[in-house]
Every structure is written in C-alpha cells, then in structure tokens.
Chains A and B, each alone.
Chain A
C-alpha cells in the first residue's frame, strides 16, 4: 500500500481521538474514591543519585503511606484531596518533610524526594514541594551522581531551546561540536571516537564509509534526555574515547496527559521565493519515495557488468530505461512546518494492573538553502606552502527536508520489585537536494555548469524489551534485548555537465553537453542497510551500610551487526564522430527523451563507472565486565574494574576488477578503569579517573580495495592491516553545587593514543590521488573544560531572580605524529588531529517569570578553527573557520493549557567557511529562520 500525507494524518488522529474523547470521563472510572488522588515518585540518595528502597513514606496526619521499591519508586493511593505534607524516613538518612503538595481529586501528582545520608546531615529537613522539583536540577543531579564524568541535556532544556533534533540539542553540552548538523565531535576528537546509543543499546550507522550516527535523525520531541559520558567505566562499551552519547526516549508521565503542538516558520531567502527544486517521483515529501527512482531492472540484471560487452542496441535500451530527469525545476518554497502529538499515562488497563504508556509522533518539514555557495580547490604555489585557487565553482543549493517519527513505550511493574518495559522507535528522514553551479576546470581552461540532484532517505527502527528486578534490598538484575536497524537509501542521483562555450571570442555563451569523458551524464544508485541485535545483562550487589554505600556490578553483552553497502554508478557519453553542436545544445530532458535511443541510433555509449566498491560486513562483539564501588571513608569512594571485549569482524568486498576480497579480524582487549570520588564538602566534589579504551577501524577502512567514495567522489582505499587504536585517558574534575540548579565545574583531561587511525592522501601518477587510512604513530589530546550555571539573583539581587546564565568553555590541544616515509607522507607529519578545534564555547541566558508562564532563552555557540582534512604536502591543512551562531526562543503560556512557542535561529547568519591557505575551499550562508507554533496540553 502507498500512504499519502493525508492518510497518515488520519491514522494519527484516529489513534489519538479515543484518548481525547475519554480524557474527561476517564477520571470517574479510575477506581479510586472520588475525593482521593494519588502521589507517585522516587526517593533518591542526594549524594549518589541512586534510588533508595525501603523508605517509609507517609502523609503526615493520616495513616496513608507506603514503602519505596525498585529504584526508590513509590505510589501512594487514596490520598485525601487537598494540600498535604509528606514525610520520608529511613535508617541512615536524615528524615525529610515535604510540604505543600496539592492533590486534586482523581488525579495523580508526581513528587520526587532526595534524602541526605544521616552522617552528612543530622537534622531533619523540611522543604516545599516546588523546591523539590525541577528538571534542570535533575540533569545536574545526574551529572553529580554519576560514577564517571557526564553531561546531560533534558527534555525540559530541549523544550526551552529552538532545537528540533538531537544533533542540535547535544551541541549545548560542554566540549561538543556538531559537524554538518549531524555528526558529534566531543572535546575535539573526531567522530571516530564518539559512539551513540539509544536507551543504552548501540545505534547502527547508515553512513557508507563511516560508522557514525547522524543525530539529526532523532526528533527532539521524542527525547527524554541526551547524556554525554566522557569517562569510561567498565559497564560502558569500550570503543569510545571521546564520548558516549546516550539518547533516552521519553518515559510515560505519572498521570494521563496529552499534547498537540503545531507550528510554522519562515526561512529568509527561501520561504515564499522561487527556488531551484529537485524533481520528484512521488513520496519524497514524506521520506517514502515510490519505485520511480528504482534502478531499472534491465540494468540491475547486469550486476557488475563483468565480461558483459554491450553492443549499440543494448546501450540504446539501457539509456532509454533511465528516468529522464536531469535538471531541477523552479518552485515556490514552502514554509517550515512542524507538528507533534503525544499521549501518555499510567493506568490500570491490564485487569486492574497498571501499565505506563507513551505514544508520541512528530513531523518537521521545510526548504533550506545554501546561498552564496562557493567551492574551489587549492593547488600548490611555487613557493613551498603557498596556495593557488583552482576549479572554482559558485552556485546555490536548495534542499527540501522532512523528518518524522514516532515512539511507543510501555512499562509495567510486576510486584514491587520488577519492572518490564518495551521501547519502540521509528524515524524517517529525507533530503531532496538540487544544486546548480557554474565554474571552471582551471587546468583544462573550460567553463562548465554542473546540475546535480540528489535524494537521500534515511530510516531507523529500534525495538527494545528491558527488565529490572530488585531481589531483596541488595541485589538487582537489569537486562535488555534490542533489535535495531537503519537504512540509507539514495536512489537515482543525477549529474549533468554542460560546457559553457563561445564560438567566437566575443560571441554569446552557449551551454553544450560535455558529451565525452566519464562525467558528462551520470546516474548513481546507492543503498546501505545495517541491522544490529544487542543483548545485555547486568547484576549488582549492594554492600556496606547505607551510610558507607558500596557495590559490586558484573555484566555481559553480546552484539551482532550486519551491514550491506551497495553503490552503482552509470555514465552516458556520445560517440564523438556523431556528435554535433546542435545535439550538444539540447536540454538534457530532450536529449534523453527517446529520440536518440531508437533501434537504429548509434549516438550513446553507456557503461558502469564503479564496478565493485560494494561490501558486506559482519561484526560480533562479546563483552563482560566486573566493577566495584568501594567506600574508602565517609567522603571518598573508589570505583574500579575492568572490561573484556572480544570482537570478530569480517568485511567482504568486491574490487573494481570484480574479485572478492575478504578481511577477517579478531581482537581481544582488557580495558581497566579506576576512579576516585571525593566529597570535599556538602557542595563540592572532586573526581579523578584513569582508564584504557580503544577505537576500532570502520568497516570500509579495513577492505583493501580502491573504490569511488559515494559521498565525496574521491577514490578511497582501505587497509586490511589496520590496527585498532589504544587510548589511555586521565580526567580530573572539581565541581561545586552551590544550590539547586547551579553548578561550577572545572575539568582537566588528557588522552594518549597509540596507533590512531588517520585519513590521509596517497598520490598517483599524473596528479591523481586517493584517500586512505593509516595507523599514525601516536597522538595526544589534552584540555580544560569549565562549566557554569548560575541564577543571577545571588549576584545582582532579587530583581534579577528570573534570570540565569550558563556557559561552558572547552580549551584543548592535540598533536598527531605520523610515521615518516610511509605512503601517508603525503600529509603534514605533525599537526593537530583532524576534527580538533582549539576551543568550543556555549553560552546562554534564560529568563523564567515568577509564575513560570513566560520563559526565554538566548543561546550562543562558537567553535574554534578546526582541521576538516589534512592537506597533501606541501599544502596546508583544510580549516573550517570559527562561526558565531546565536539562537533565541520564547515560550509564553497563553492560558493554562496553551503555550506559544517562538524560535529564531541563526540570528547572525555568519557564513560557513572552509579555507586552505589563501584559498576559500567552501563557503555559504544558510539564512535566518523564524518559527512560531502553539502547544495545547489539556
């Protein structure tokens, strides 16, 4: 079946309608007395953030009460409506009284409680309910209580920012830079050193030459938090050195709620104006393209073309089978649109058994432009190190994008000690790009126009069944089984090149098809899928007293990943002896309309460009870990352990000459880690940590064949002798938490890499080149990170109470040392690591009115100049220039359940610029955007 946008909307509405219709009447049937409500929540240890079981919770002045269970969760039913006071008590902890909890009849109120260990705080505490809540504090708590160094962005923070997807949200984290709006670099280390997981399980990658995950595939509306772990602990997967970015999808809310949000926006330079636009076959606007772009069966049947020699009749048939679409059309750009809906709750649906649920969906679409787009290459000057511009092109790229997705999360408690949950997620994204540029090939002294259309569709699914079981008060088992998969589908990319010729020196410029060579008319079809199954089980045992808490954890993980990457390219040329200027002047849609593919035509030659280059990879990882958290004194804790990983990896590729090439690698590693956490005072903490981690080569890098890189068009060679990189990490971090929601932290980090993998250039005769990967000798990376979050009333008085400021700054340096006299000597031997920026700055100011109805946030981001590619000698490295980005967002509650959201992005519209020596390799502007929308939350 085919789905239209409308039918999806109808399905969504039908799915949501029952909730809406019954939202009012549902309360009467909830099974509790009409005059009573419910309180749910968690009790956590203020020092460690761990849930505390067996805490007695009681409504003061009543007999209503209960005990906390797994993860400190509790539920109090039958609470008399009205304002109540709650008291939490447990041996070893200071009792706490929370006042002012307002319970509505038939409704549920959420109230989390933190308890301080009695040794640290002897007197009983009394706080108001409002003070005990707050999501920003939750993020900071996660940061404070984690064993390693982590930073988190929560749903609440995302909601206050203009960020539309996970990639935009994560760039607010200290030390994080985001490249191309997709790929995360942490502390200046390349994407190779950052791994991504979804609800704890590894996300497969849809990129053909890499193993990274483009985080823009996750709509912000589906996220609960993005946690960035920067130090290794043995319970984490060993192949990260920069960071592990864990995306958690939203959990169910404590009480039934739903919300609908819709908005629209304006992109300067695009919305409403006439823009070049890629052609469509149907379905592109929903990232569900129809079969119009499929590789014609008659071509697919020919496979790799090995030993197939086409005669003229064959070639006419094959050229005629291609879709006749080569140049963009012009259309009015649609405005930016976004919408989302979610429903969730916690109701006794299973024969009175409570089930937590959340269903959520969102969609974003729009047209982006890259204006004033310039790209050029740098040639060597005649003095060593100088550069000369060559092959300069200028033009404009227009992209129509859509991103939609949904999630379904279900969770239930079995008894007081077990929880079983299911998380399902499905996202789809598409970009339909059109680019027309004029320029020159300097060495050949010809002026050309290149028209390119490219449609890329990505999808990701993940299904996870997870459980947690508290056995007694001391033991806990956690497990999950996850199946996930991604696909990157790029059907039918087209490139058409015209030479801009002048018949006389003063005559008019006439565009004529570049009918010879291999690049005049090219179609490319690529498809990549990666599927992964991951199973994990962890056991933990608490030791010692509540006051001197310790634990032992052990666990096992198995993951199998299978990847299939295919890419096929075809080119059409014309027989020179039959080619006239009249033919070459035809627009491509006339040239290929069938007039030259009749049985008797002899004009066209058709052939494959990239025989081979496809590969299949299978990767199996088995890992086990053992770690212990030991209290050395009341304020000093030691966390140590080790992880063992076994990786068995096979890459099966076809060379361009049609021969199969198999690479098989087995690696066994033991990764130790040791951390020390010192509670210097109630508000200060110091952490020290040291660990060993690794980074494995990407799949394509291990296959020794040379093939054309789908994305960049460069020749790419892998190397079956590549070794994994071993990394030694050291971190020191001092943290101050002056009050709830405030933090000051200073961290120092250093990393030493053995055998780091670097992307370098190899040279070929006649000026040809290829990219390949090599183990460099070593690299170092060290730096300092400062993070500050402060409410301004403390500094400037009460008038500034609504304001808070935050900033994180990372300053770092790296140095990589290559082996001399290898084939990699075509790059500079000693330099910063590729991707490394000397500094990253994130800052912002936020305003929240006293009644919480109005909030505004101004965000600023700047990344120092960083190497995007190492230069081939004697050229300097390719540098991306710093760029100031400022975003503003405003949230205004119009009534108790309607909120107005306004977001303005890229207010400064600084150009994106990449330079090499004195040559501007690439530059463009993306333009400012303004969006507004309404959220309804009844």
Chain B
C-alpha cells in the first residue's frame, strides 16, 4: 500500500524534525578571543611566583606580562605559553624575581591570529625570608601548643575537641588557608583556647594570602562553642556549618550544634591581644562566619584586647552565653560591630568600632551587607524560640563605654542599615556611657512591642528595668539635616522613663563627630595607619565628661565588679592610656 508507506516516511521526517529541533546550533564568527578570567598568582618562594588560570578550548596560546609594584610600572612580556588541547589548567612559574617584592601579572589570549584584550590584573608579592611553617589539616583532639616561631596555616575546618586545650604563644601567626574554602578554627564544647598575647606580641589570625591582596572572606574565623545557656529549644546549629553533612569527619565542615548547655559559668579559655583579620567566608548564601563568634560561651571565659579587622560579617557575635569582654576594637566591619541575641547576658566594656567604607569581598565569599549597625541585639528569632520574642532567658547584656563610629553615608550602610543601635525582638540590656556617631538612619531603632513594652523593660522604678539607655551622646545621626535620635516610626520612648532622653541623659549633640575626638578620619577617606586614629576625647569635648559615674538598681547588679562607672563617655579615658595603640592593625588588603 504505497500511500501508507509514504505516510510512514513522512512521519519519520516529522520525528526527525522534532528530534533535531532539540539539537544545538553552532556558528562561529571570527572575532577577538575572550580574555582569560580568574588569573591567579601565588608566591612560591622568595624569588618565584606561580601564575595559573584555566584555559578556554580552542585558544592557541597565552602571552603573560608582568609589572612591578601595586600600581604603576610598565608591563613587559614574560613568556608565551601554548594553550592545552582541551580546556584545562595552565600554570607557569616566573622565577628570578626580587625578594619580598610585589608584582602584577596579566594575560592575553591568542586565537585565530587575533589577540584578546588584557585579562584582569592579579597581584602578589614574593616571600620574605622567614619562619618555619606548619599546616594543620585535622581536628585537634589532644591538647596542643602553637609556637611563635612557626607560621601555621589552618587548612579546612579545624575543631578543637572536648577536653583538649589549644595554647597559643604570644606573637604566633595563624593563617586561614585561602585555598581551602572557609577554613575556620572552632573551639568546641568542653575544649579551651588559651591565646594570651601581649601588646608587643599579639596573636594574629589572618588570611594566607600575601599582604596587599587580602580580602574579607579569605577564610572563616574564630568560633567558640560552649556549654553556656541560650534561649532556643531543640537542636540549633552554628550558621554556615554542616555543608559537608552532619557526620563528624576530621577537617570537614560538619554540623556543629551549640545550644542545650546549662552551665552559665562554663569556661572556654582566655583570649588576650588577639586579632582576627580578613575572615567571614560564607559557606552558604547569606551565612557568613563572623570574626569572633561566641556560641553559648560561659562567664568563666574571658576576652580582653581583641581586634576584628576587615571581616565580612559581624565583628563580635554572641548567641546566648555570658562571656565578658573588655577593650575590643573593630575596623571596617562588614556588618555589625556587636551582635547579641538568644539570651546573651554578659558584659562588654570599652568597645571601639569604626568603619570608613565596605571592602570588596573575596569572589564567592559573600557580598556587601545591606544593614550595617553599631549594635544589633535580638531577643530570640527562629525555630526553637518557643515563646517567640519572649523566649527566656531574655537577651540582657551590658555594654558600657562604647565608641561606635559609622561610615556616615546611607549608601555605605546599606538599604536597611545605618542604625547606631538596633534593639528588637524582645531584647533588653544596659547601654551606658557611650558615643554613637555617623549613623545615617538614626541613633537608636527600637523595634517590636516585645522589646519596649515587655514586662521587664517597663518595670518601675526605671532603675529596676532590664532595658536602660543612660548617658549616651549621639552625633551626626540621622539623614543629612535631620538629626534623629530614635527612629520615628517605632516606639514612642519618651513615654517610658528608662528610655526618656532627658531623664537618662541621651544627648543629641550638634557637635560634629570629628570634633569629639583627637583624630578620626573624615567621611569618605580610607586611612590605613595607626597614626590616623586617636579615639581620645579632644580637649573640651562633651564626651570627656557626662558619664554616669554611679550605677544603681539593676544596672549596678548587672555591672558587678566587671564594669566600672566612669565620668566620661566613650571607650577612652581622656586622661588614660591609648589602649588600642601598639597591637592593632588597620590594613585594608
């Protein structure tokens, strides 16, 4: 039957047409080849640097060029390397270079007798004469000492286990491995860290990349997990952990659960003169690590003279617990300086936070924050908050003598940031003798009735309330031309005595922020040296006086012997030592 055969043939044509409709076209127009993206350079020795990148299939060869210095100089040809037959890694080691010298490299692609535009430039420095080196890749189960004469690299997720003490000598440098994403040091429940440096020999946690090419998010951070108390039920994991699963595998990012502890006085060790630099890698979207994370850390733990530098998330974050800190500083914090929640009840005295802009994070590590604040305190949030914001214990910290200076521009603070102090979701706390300056939205944003009309926060007399703001000076807060102490659309604080600006000496100053201190950088400038900063009150500065010099009521109880009342406001005694000088760092890369 010829017609049916024809029909079958035509149907075959139809099926063929359908099938080929799914196949892909390919047309190649001769045009300049795409440049290489992601050129990486790493110092291999005191005289060599390795250039590496991934080739693109079809390319013929690559021209590598070099210039000396971080800027300027002239690019000169180094070599031409042929492209591999299939796309793959191309590495070239450039030798006979000067010691401890910075070089920039770029790559041109050759293909079809055409040359691409230059790739982006990659910068690094050859190594200096130096230390012995050791790489830590496995969890630390037994007590161990890290020595000052060795440069350590934390490579992977290193957990110091229950019962072990990690002792770190003054002057030791520990680098988070840039090549192993998110490398982080975690002190687990029952373990201790004894990292006691000195002003002359601080202990430094930093990026494994060369100075000059470091970025926020190069590695994770320092995480302490304790047996202290928090207010969430169930089983709560440290955010960002668990990307390698829940099963414990040494050196991997397994789930770390931190809540459920009951020992308010738990001791996780001592930190003194410790810097954490260029941390904050985000193993998951929007789940960056902080420079210092205190997860249910008991009051037996102490921290003094700490610096967070160029971290990608918060500088100091507290999830429950009761650790006390004194003399802490944060420079170029990418999110909040102090972030307390989940029932944290410790005390912090003498805290400096200063930001001038937001640094560009490492590619893939995370992004610029949209909500920079000086203090961001929450009661409880998320699953396991059995009574919502009112879950107990409440978050009732004491923060005394703080100088928190924002970057001054709303564009820098992010769309929903710019609040000097953000108090919400049922938090309480004692905030006293502080300076809040250059926060573009307002001085204080009080949110949620669970915060400001909660039983404890409205207790009378106000000296027994658990939410008190006393003797704080606000300068350059609010949008330009509209100084704003309290955010308008939330609470009406004047009806509540503990928040009454007049009764509690909450001063909306007309002075400029710069005039309050001996020296702080102007808005929009990006200083990098210690000499650009002196947080001491300037002569005649209103913050040299006006402190609450006597504590009473519940604030006195909270302060105990740890927090002393002062006659000045801010983190620095006008007649005292420049406590931040000597051991801190202000590098930006």
Point out which of B22, B257, B360, B412 has the most chain A C-beta atoms below 10 A from its C-beta: B360
**Interface flag for B129 (CB, 8 Å):** no
CB of B207 to closest CB in A, whole Å: 11
Judge whether A717 and B384 touch: CB under 8 Å.
no
Residues of A25-52 at the interface with B, using a CB-CB cut-off of 8 Å, are 26, 29
CB of A664 to closest CB in B, whole Å: 14
Judge whether B235 and A826 touch: CB under 8 Å.
yes
| Complex interface: chain A residues within 8 A of B237 (CB) | 762-765, 770, 823
Judge whether A301 and B285 touch: CB under 8 Å.
no
| Complex interface: chain B residues within 8 A of A140 (CB) | none
Judge whether A311 and B122 touch: CB under 8 Å.
yes
A15-B13, A822-B235 known; A656+B383 contact, CB < 8 A: no
Tell me, in angstroms, the Cα distance from A512 to B117 when the chains sit together. 34
CB of B191 to closest CB in A, whole Å: 18
Judge whether B415 and A499 touch: CB under 8 Å.
yes
Judge whether A605 and B364 touch: CB under 8 Å.
no
Tell me, in angstroms, the Cα distance from A381 to B21 when the chains sit together. 55
| Complex interface: chain B residues within 8 A of A297 (CB) | 34, 56
**Interface flag for B553 (CB, 8 Å):** no
Tell me, in angstroms, the Cα distance from A769 to B56 when the chains sit together. 39
> Quick one: CB contact mask for A468-502 with B, threshold 8 Å, 1 for yes?
00000000000000000000000000000001010
**Interface flag for A155 (CB, 8 Å):** no
User: What is the predominant secondary structure among interface residues of chain B facing chain A?
Assistant: loop
**Interface flag for B18 (CB, 8 Å):** yes
For B284, give its contact among A7, A12, A715 (CB under 8 Å). A715
Judge whether B389 and A382 touch: CB under 8 Å.
yes
| Complex interface: chain A residues within 8 A of B366 (CB) | 518
> Quick one: CB contact mask for B344-370 with A, threshold 8 Å, 1 for yes?
000000000000011011111111111
Judge whether B368 and A424 touch: CB under 8 Å.
no
For B11, give its contact among A359, A426, A611 (CB under 8 Å). A359
| Complex interface: chain A residues within 8 A of B412 (CB) | 576-577
**Interface flag for A347 (CB, 8 Å):** yes
| Complex interface: chain B residues within 8 A of A661 (CB) | 244-245
**Interface flag for A214 (CB, 8 Å):** no
Residues of B533-585 at the interface with A, using a CB-CB cut-off of 8 Å, are none
One of A302-310, A740-748, A895-903 at the interface: A302-310
| Complex interface: chain A residues within 8 A of B11 (CB) | 15, 359, 408
Judge whether A3 and B17 touch: CB under 8 Å.
yes
CB of B4 to closest CB in A, whole Å: 5
A505-B488, A763-B232, A764-B239 known; A576+B411 contact, CB < 8 A: yes
**Interface flag for A766 (CB, 8 Å):** yes
> Quick one: CB contact mask for B443-459 with A, threshold 8 Å, 1 for yes?
00101001000000000
> Quick one: CB contact mask for B170-192 with A, threshold 8 Å, 1 for yes?
00000000111110000000000
| Complex interface: chain B residues within 8 A of A712 (CB) | none
**Interface flag for B371 (CB, 8 Å):** yes
Judge whether B415 and A514 touch: CB under 8 Å.
yes
Judge whether A763 and B384 touch: CB under 8 Å.
yes
**Interface flag for A825 (CB, 8 Å):** yes
For A22, give its contact among B3, B252, B258 (CB under 8 Å). B3
Judge whether A575 and B245 touch: CB under 8 Å.
no
CB of B367 to closest CB in A, whole Å: 4
Tell me, in angstroms, the Cα distance from A306 to B378 when the chains sit together. 35
> Quick one: CB contact mask for A692-712 with B, threshold 8 Å, 1 for yes?
000000000000111110000
| Residue ID in chain A nearest B52 by CB atoms | A307
Point out which of A298, A459, A514, A823 has the most chain B C-beta atoms below 10 A from its C-beta: A823
Judge whether B7 and A19 touch: CB under 8 Å.
yes
One of B35-43, B95-103, B266-274, B464-472 at the interface: B35-43
Judge whether A380 and B235 touch: CB under 8 Å.
no
Tell me, in angstroms, the Cα distance from A308 to B283 when the chains sit together. 16
Judge whether A705 and B243 touch: CB under 8 Å.
yes
Judge whether A825 and B234 touch: CB under 8 Å.
yes
| Residue ID in chain A nearest B357 by CB atoms | A577
**Interface flag for A797 (CB, 8 Å):** no
| Complex interface: chain B residues within 8 A of A386 (CB) | 388
CB of A614 to closest CB in B, whole Å: 14
**Interface flag for A610 (CB, 8 Å):** yes
A406-B18, A518-B285, A766-B341 known; A311+B383 contact, CB < 8 A: no
Tell me, in angstroms, the Cα distance from A708 to B87 when the chains sit together. 28
> Quick one: CB contact mask for A373-387 with B, threshold 8 Å, 1 for yes?
000000111111010
Point out which of B368, B378, B413, B424 has the most chain A C-beta atoms below 10 A from its C-beta: B368
For A313, give its contact among B121, B246, B257, B287 (CB under 8 Å). B121
Judge whether A444 and B286 touch: CB under 8 Å.
no
**Interface flag for B520 (CB, 8 Å):** no
Judge whether B1 and A655 touch: CB under 8 Å.
no
Judge whether B363 and A607 touch: CB under 8 Å.
yes
**Interface flag for A591 (CB, 8 Å):** no
Tell me, in angstroms, the Cα distance from A384 to B368 when the chains sit together. 36
| Complex interface: chain A residues within 8 A of B361 (CB) | 605, 607
Point out which of A459, A514, A707, A763 has the most chain B C-beta atoms below 10 A from its C-beta: A763
For A518, give its contact among B236, B362, B367 (CB under 8 Å). B367
Tell me, in angstroms, the Cα distance from A514 to B370 when the chains sit together. 8
For A656, give its contact among B252, B284, B447 (CB under 8 Å). B284
**Interface flag for B215 (CB, 8 Å):** yes
CB of B242 to closest CB in A, whole Å: 5
Given A15-B10, A706-B242, 12 additional A-B pairs, CB 8 A: A2-B25, A302-B37, A308-B37, A310-B120, A317-B35, A357-B4, A444-B416, A446-B416, A717-B246, A720-B247, A826-B234, A873-B383
Chain A residues near B (Cβ < 8 Å): 1-3, 7-8, 11-12, 14-15, 18-19, 21-22, 26, 29, 288, 290-291, 297-298, 301-303, 305-315, 317-318, 343, 347-349, 357, 359, 379-384, 386, 388, 406, 408, 424, 426, 441, 443-446, 459, 499, 501, 503, 505, 512, 514-519, 569, 571, 573-577, 579-581, 599, 605-612, 655-659, 661, 704-708, 715, 717-721, 761-770, 821-823, 825-826, 872-875
Chain B residues near A (Cβ < 8 Å): 1, 3-8, 10-11, 13-15, 17-22, 24-25, 34-35, 37-38, 40, 54, 56, 87, 117-122, 178-182, 215, 232-240, 242-247, 252-253, 255, 257-258, 283-287, 295, 317, 319, 341-342, 357-358, 360-371, 378, 381-390, 409, 411-416, 424-426, 445, 447, 450, 479, 488-490, 524
9 A-B residue pairs with Cβ-Cβ distance under 8 Å, sorted by A, are A1-B21, A15-B10, A382-B387, A444-B371, A445-B489, A656-B243, A715-B287, A767-B378, A873-B383
